[in-house]
Amino acid sequence: MKSDRTFPRATVSRKAEASLRAGHVWVYDTEVKSIDRACGNGSLIDVVSEKGAYLGTAFYSEKSKLRLRVISTNANETFGDAFFRRRVGYAVDYRAAVMGGDFGCCRLIFGESDGLPGLTVDRYGDILVSEVLSVGTELRRETIYRALCDKLAETDARVAGIYERCESNVRTLEGLPQHKGWYECDFCGSPSPLTEITENGVVYAVDVENGQKTGFFLDQKYNRAAVGRLARGRRVLDCFTHTGSFALNAAKGGAERVLAVDVSDTAVQLARDNARRNGVSDVMEVARADVFELLPQLCAEHADFDLVILDPPAFTKSRATVKDAERGYREINSRAMKLLPRGGFLATCSCSHFMTPENFIRILRGAAADANVTLKLIEARGAAPDHPVLLSVPETDYLKFYLFQIV
């Protein structure tokens, strides 16, 4: 896609100016004071202060509350194909450097963290899975996809197909239709959506068409390994198990026994299949259960576990529901702490960026007080490095993972 450097100009409020100068990349609709001429949905627009100072160039969304998504602060950038190829190149080179032997199965592009707003691309061997949530990126995805395939080819990696999982309601807010399916192009094809990956020595079946999100949750890769290292000889309870990933790492790590539970029948079947696939069905039991009901029941029964894993789905996806989420997190963590003996271990997570690390720690302190225990911190971790955090964009720091001992 060719680029025209003469863009419309959007004047933003002082609040937005301060945010952009601090390194954030979004401007909300209420912070745009004026636009000097008409511009199309997804077009490029220069962002300026009330005094006319250049602040960056952004994708414009005429419908979303995220009205402007800044993609560069270089006033001389021309935003042709070469620009997007550079961005893709930086993203892929970064993963190759930080993921090492895990480069074949990782997140290749993480939206704003890689300067490609609203775009997620995960790699499962020779299949890429994409989610596009920004109209500006949608209009340029052919260039980005082609650049990805060319860049991976430099590492002797062939892309068999790109599957788009563009089903989020966020697309409606951007004026985009929801859809999923193989991206039709002349540089890759439409292979089977069923594939297999190996992570931490654990083998998983991945369905990129029907699986959660892009088919698998890659962000907990090294957190699962941390649990596996701690599990040897222990009796493990894995709550909200989904595909069984934490439970499988515990079983492969030498756990004495593992109980993995999830409220979803589909998740239970997936976890059972993965247990059989990895030859740990004799150690790993999978059951359907509501964790909020199961934990008090196990406490009443004085069930014998010495490692509990809590990896719930996001209890809050907006600031409006944070208080409700706090109650949920406090309840399950308090119940888990009561279930564990002194010297037992707790792995606990929150994957909502609206639940800040400070707030989550406050909740865990409250849960420990409820359970009349003290927590000894073993590790505080986040997402794997293929999900990089920009310190100037707190929303990219969404996953909190803590390992504690009960003392």
**Which residues participate in catalysis according to the annotation?**
351
Q: Is 333 exposed, middle or buried (0-12, 13-18, 19+ CB in 10 A)?
A: buried
Whether residue 261 contacts residue 291, with contact meaning beta carbons closer than 8 Å, is answered with: yes
Q: Is 110 exposed, middle or buried (0-12, 13-18, 19+ CB in 10 A)?
A: buried
Whether residue 111 contacts residue 100, with contact meaning beta carbons closer than 8 Å, is answered with: no
Cβ neighbours of 407 (radius 10 Å): 10
Please give the backbone phi and psi of residue 211, each rounded to the nearest 5 degrees, phi first: -70, 165
Looking at this protein, which amino acid is placed at residue 116? L
Look at the alpha carbons of 72, 30, 390, 23 in this order and tell me if their dihedral is positive or negative: positive
Whether residue 41 contacts residue 59, with contact meaning beta carbons closer than 8 Å, is answered with: no
Q: How many helices (H) and strands (E) does the chain have?
A: 11, 20
Cβ neighbours of 88 (radius 10 Å): 26
Whether residue 123 contacts residue 88, with contact meaning beta carbons closer than 8 Å, is answered with: no
Alpha-carbon distance 136 to 144, whole Å? Answer: 12
DSSP-derived letter for residue 297 is H
